[in-house]
Structure 1
Amino acid sequence: MTTTDWLTDVALVLVVFRQLREGRLDLRSYLIPLGIVAFVASQYLHTIPTAGNDLVLIGALVGVGAALGVAGGVYTRIRGAGGHLFIKAGAVSAILWVLGMGARMAFQVWVDHGGADDVGRFSVTHDITTSQAWVAAFVLMALTELVTRLATIFVRSRRATREPQPSMGTRPAATALDHTV
């Protein structure tokens, strides 16, 4: 792994730590992580191999990324205050993010330090045709995890803004159900 590889992988892992502290949900909340993943994709995703079972590998890891992303978005707290929305990644959300991004980094370290032969045998056995299939699978997994997490947060934030929040000191109007015995 090059220094750039390490810095990129660490930046992807650290993205979630920015959200462990509650912050305002705004355009930057979406653009910064998307910018990092777009950079990663532009640096590493040169082609998407389609021969053999390359698409099966890619599809499987994209599916894992989607599941991690949706779950991470669900476990991110969203609250309204003062006309603004605030988000905070919960422990589950952070663990899922680090698990997804860390798996890519761990795989890369393992391959660089003795795992290449095992990956090669697995690839031959399962008709995965090139190392670029592995690169594409992990990059698309990361991209999918991020996009589905942000999409889940976006959908949840739209629902949060539509749900009226009772203000302090006011009591909701009585309904017919309030007077039943």
Structure 2
Amino acid sequence: MTTIDYLISAALILLVIPQIRGTRQTLRTALLPIVAVAAAAAYYLKSFPTEGHDVPLYATTLLIGAVLGIACGATTRLSRSADGVAFAQAGAVAAALWIVGMASRAGFEYWADNGGATDIARFSRDNLITGAAAWTAALLLMALAQVLCRLAVVRLRTHRLTPATRVAVRA
């Protein structure tokens, strides 16, 4: 992993800080995680192979990302301020799920660069995965699914709030 790789991974993981502090649900706060993942995709994604079993790999990582994102969104506390703007705050469970999802990708990359390459190559060969480009695409799809599903759940739950409603999901 290069210094840039560490910085990108750290930035994605550290997106949990505003979630823990709590954020007003505005277009800007909705777009920040999407832009961060899109920037990572622009940096890393060189190709999107679809041969062998690459597509099932993508489906699996999309599902994992979606489950993590839905769980993050479902365990985020929501309220509406006096001015009517929704406020979302991640508790311990939501924050942990975010960190697990984002850090697992960094951990996979670190493992691949530090002793795991042979195991990954063997697994890829045995399961007809075309190689590093497929793994890169799969992990980026996982991140995107996590971000979009968390956002969708929080936004859907936000629309159910009335000005006086306070959702008390303790995480």
Which TM-score applies when normalising by structure 1? 0.87
- Structure 2 equivalent of residue 56 of structure 1: 56
What SS does the corresponding residue of 1:20 show, helix, strand or coil?
helix
The one-letter amino acid paired with 1:147 is L
Contact 2:52–2:130 (Cα < 8 Å) also in 1: yes
- Structure 1 equivalent of residue 158 of structure 2: 157
Map Cα deviations across residues 101-134 of structure 1 (whole Å, 9 max, x no partner).
1100000000100000000000111111121110
* Structure 2 residue 138 is the aligned partner of structure 1 residue 137: yes
CA distance in 2, matches of 1:104, 1:118: 16
- Structure 1 equivalent of residue 39 of structure 2: 39
Identity of aligned residues (%): 44
CA distance in 1, matches of 2:43, 2:144: 13
CA distance in 2, matches of 1:66, 1:158: 20
CA distance in 2, matches of 1:8, 1:128: 25
- Structure 1 equivalent of residue 93 of structure 2: 92
CA distance in 2, matches of 1:30, 1:79: 16
Contact 2:53–2:129 (Cα < 8 Å) also in 1: yes
CA distance in 1, matches of 2:154, 2:80: 13
How many correspondences in the alignment? 164
CA distance in 1, matches of 2:90, 2:76: 4
- What do you get for the CA RMSD once the two structures are aligned? 1.2
Post-superposition offset of 1:86: 0.9
The one-letter amino acid paired with 2:78 is I
Which TM-score applies when normalising by structure 2? 0.92
- Hey, which bits of structure 1, 4+ residues long, moved more than 2 A? 163-166
For the pair shown, which has the larger CA radius of gyration, 1 or 2?
1
Map Cα deviations across residues 73-102 of structure 1 (whole Å, 9 max, x no partner).
111111012122111011111111100011
CA distance in 2, matches of 1:158, 1:109: 40
CA distance in 2, matches of 1:24, 1:144: 22
Could you list the runs of 5+ residues in structure 2 that have no partner in the other structure?
166-171
CA distance in 2, matches of 1:164, 1:135: 43
Map Cα deviations across residues 152-181 of structure 1 (whole Å, 9 max, x no partner).
111111111xx3627xxxxxxxxxxxxxxx
